[in-house]
Amino acid sequence: MIAITDADDPRIADYRAVRERDLVGRMGRFVIEGEVVLRLAVARGRFPLASALLSEKRAGLAETIPAGVPVYVAPQAVMDSVTGFPIHRGVLAVGVRGDAPDPRALLAALPPRALVVALVGLTNHDNVGGIFRNAAAFGADAVILDGETCDPLYRKAIRVSAGGALVVPFARAGDPSALLDLLEEAGFTSLALSPRGADTFATLRPPARAALVLGTEGPGLPDAVMSRARTLRIAMAGEFDSLNVAVTSGIALHALAGLDG
Amino acid sequence: MIAITDADDPRIADYRAVRERDLVGRMGRFVIEGEVVLRLAVARGRFPLASALLSEKRAGLAETIPAGVPVYVAPQAVMDSVTGFPIHRGVLAVGVRGDAPDPRALLAALPPRALVVALVGLTNHDNVGGIFRNAAAFGADAVILDGETCDPLYRKAIRVSAGGALVVPFARAGDPSALLDLLEEAGFTSLALSPRGADTFATLRPPARAALVLGTEGPGLPDAVMSRARTLRIAMAGEFDSLNVAVTSGIALHALAGLDG
């Protein structure tokens, strides 16, 4: 544990103005907020920690951090000052993302029965975070992102995912067509979800390797994706045909995971 | 159409600092944002409009507003100035909530087969908005709120609901026990959703009059509710047992509405 008394201390530079900056893009690092997500990150160990920054009240959490990782402890006021906004929970950490995984290798390594989620053009951090939370809850094996979809390790996406972004492996494919190629090569049946989908979940017998393909709420999935996939819809009451894409993912993953027995 | 050139014009006082103020609590009014929700509000007509405020670029929408409702049209800069933040969509309106509906009368007027949602202690506007969006999408007949649950007509709740809060009738009961009494009197079977629930949706035959009871993500539903209801759970992958309550409502309403045929 290293006591920090000065918000300008260079050792905690990673935490400066975390709300405005996105460590992910420029430095290959990402920010973890809160005890629950920090404990999850440590337990899963997919990403090494670069450091942790705890308020004095939360210094007890230092014992959960792996040996060798610097744990900075600061008065609440110093912590708020360096980050630029009140860190009520008093728990921050910085993770290291490492090399980008190869999507082909990730898919090939999955078991014969597998469920993955494929995201096309999802640029909203709340939605991507929400989808990762559902993917973790229903045991999805991986998430494949197209080039447009935002980074699941962005601070807000991790928070909304309740840590799911640190649990479910993900990799980035190129454009939607390259993404579908990858899924096909790996023996996955793409199930494209859209209000224009042909079938509902009531009649679906999930394939052994299923890829749930999700697009944005407004424009939806491009025709080039719809025409190459088996298309599904969630039946709604009709006059109000509108579901958030994270909710949609929850309904679809619940149906596909088949955990209700 | 009334041209507004001055942000201090008293005729548009309802729109002043809408982000900070909550018109609902103090004045029995509420704020509608964006074309989609405004059109929905007009089409449903559950709540009269007090006025609309459009940017000059969106003045064409004036023809969708019922006769007799003042439509103020202002330059974008004046609109941003009065509201206190950039109104990119250039479309605002103020609705009038009217008298609070009686929950007993609302439930009694529903058909013999009916699906309602009952919310206990939900104080997060995003979650309540998300639940209303799902309730509208799956055709729920009503939402009953306990005393703790936040107002569905709060600006952010309406926005997140995509207008669902203006579609699905709602009424407020007292404490959770009074809420369950009301449901029971009206012949509804309460289905309490919780990770501690006894059954899953796979084995459920929905009752003719079903009330889906939802509580907060952390503490969940109080024992007093669980002990009086049939309890259900959504099976998860186990190690990551965490779903957002709005997502939960979507999964449960999808199962209960039975629209997938």
Mean pLDDT computed over A58-85: 94
8 A C-beta contact, residue B138 and residue B253: yes
| Residues B242, A201: C-beta atoms closer than 8 Å | no
Nearest alpha carbon to residue B149 among B94, B93, B221, B209: B221
Residue B35 — pLDDT band, cuts 50, 70, 90? Answer: very high
Rounded Cα distance between A190 and A183, Å, is 7
Q: What is the ipTM of this complex?
A: 0.93
Q: In the predicted model, is pLDDT for residue A22 greater than 80? A: no
Q: In the predicted model, is pLDDT for residue B176 greater than 90? A: yes
Rounded Cα distance between B76 and A209, Å, is 51
Q: In the predicted model, is pLDDT for residue A89 greater than 90? A: no
- At residue B77, φ and ψ (nearest 5 deg) are -65, -40
Residues in A touching B115 (Cβ below 8 Å): none
Q: In the predicted model, is pLDDT for residue B218 greater than 70? A: yes
Q: In the predicted model, is pLDDT for residue B258 greater than 90? A: no
Q: Which chain B residue has the Cα nearest residue A200? A: B260
Name the range with the highest mean pLDDT among A19-28, A236-245, B162-171, B233-242: B162-171
- At residue B143, φ and ψ (nearest 5 deg) are -125, 130
Per-residue model confidence (pLDDT) at position B150 = 94
| Residues B261, A130: C-beta atoms closer than 8 Å | no
| Residues A240, B137: C-beta atoms closer than 8 Å | yes
Q: Which residues of B touch A (CB under 8 A)?
A: 40, 130, 133-134, 136-139, 162-164, 167, 200-202, 234-238, 240-244, 246-248, 250-251, 254, 257, 259-261
Domains and CATH numbers, chain A: 2-96 (3.30.1330.30), 103-257 (3.40.1280.10)
Of A202, A236, A261, nearest to B261 by CB-CB distance is A202
State the nearest Cα–Cα gap between B245 and chain A, in angstroms. Answer: 10
Contacts of A247 (CB under 8 A, 6+ apart): A130, B130, B133, B134, B246, B247, B250
Most A CBs within 10 A among B251, B253, B256, hence the mutation to make, goes to B251
Per-residue model confidence (pLDDT) at position B22 = 64
Q: In the predicted model, is pLDDT for residue B174 greater than 80? A: yes
For B96-112, letters b (16+ CB in 10 Å) and e give: ebeeeeebeebbeebee
Tokens coding B8:
């201090």
Nearest alpha carbon to residue B235 among B183, B184, B193: B193
Per-residue model confidence (pLDDT) at position A87 = 82
Of B162, B237, B261, nearest to A200 by CB-CB distance is B261
What would the pLDDT profile of B123-167 be if each residue is shown by its tens digit? 999 999 999 999 999 999 999 999 999 999 999 999 999 999 999
Q: In the predicted model, is pLDDT for residue B261 greater than 90? A: no
| A86 vs A58, higher pLDDT | A58
| Residues B243, A200: C-beta atoms closer than 8 Å | no
| B20 vs A152, higher pLDDT | A152
